[in-house]
Amino acid sequence: MIAILRIGHRIHRDKRITTHVALVARAFSADRIYIDSFDKKIEETIKKTCERFGNSFEIKTGVNSKKIIKEWDGVVVHLTMYGETLEKIIDKIHRKGNILIIVGAEKVPPWIYQDADYNISIGNQPHSEVAALAIFLDRLTKGKWINKNFNGKMQIIPTNSGKKVVSKDK
């Protein structure tokens, strides 16, 4: 089980970025995302994506971050530019079971750094949480996400030019 916990989501300010965090989580083989602020719109967007493109990815908004972390049965990873480098830690995490990955929006409270099993730095320069999550999940899955079959109603076929989409409804 790979789950993402998005903390500090500000509905009016972060909706696009949080949507992108959820889309990356889904595409890169996470099983679910928790978002600390209730946001019906983002739930609908992600559920519609899953309906069209497949996957049993789950989204829950309005969760209690502290409760999720406290009750998590597995390792808790916090992605931050202040942590240990990914290269030093990733092999340890490969051997773990369930993984909860914390991705912040606004300034992350100090208790997150204390409660996480690992504070991992993708890079030590300011960067996007979307990019950090994508890189982490790619390394965690050893790139296997790229060949995952989502069994959706729609499937995008790689092509050199133009767009090729196959719909199973027709």
**For the segment 115-154, what is each residue's pLDDT rounded down to a tens digit?**
999 999 998 887 888 999 999 999 999 888 877 778 778 8
State the number of CA atoms in the 13 A half-sphere of 164 facing the CB: 5
DSSP 23: H
Residue 21 pLDDT class (50, 70, 90 cuts): very high
Domains in the chain: ranges and CATH: 2-167 (3.40.1280.10)
State the number of CA atoms in the 13 A half-sphere of 112 facing the CB: 23
Query: Among 58, 163, 75, which residue's Cα sits nearest to residue 117?
Result: 75
Mean pLDDT taken over the chain: 89
Query: Among 23, 67, 16, which residue's Cα sits nearest to residue 39?
Result: 16
pLDDT > 90? residue 17: no
Residue 132, pLDDT score: 94
Query: pTM higher than 0.85 for the full model?
Result: yes
- Average pLDDT for 38-61: 92
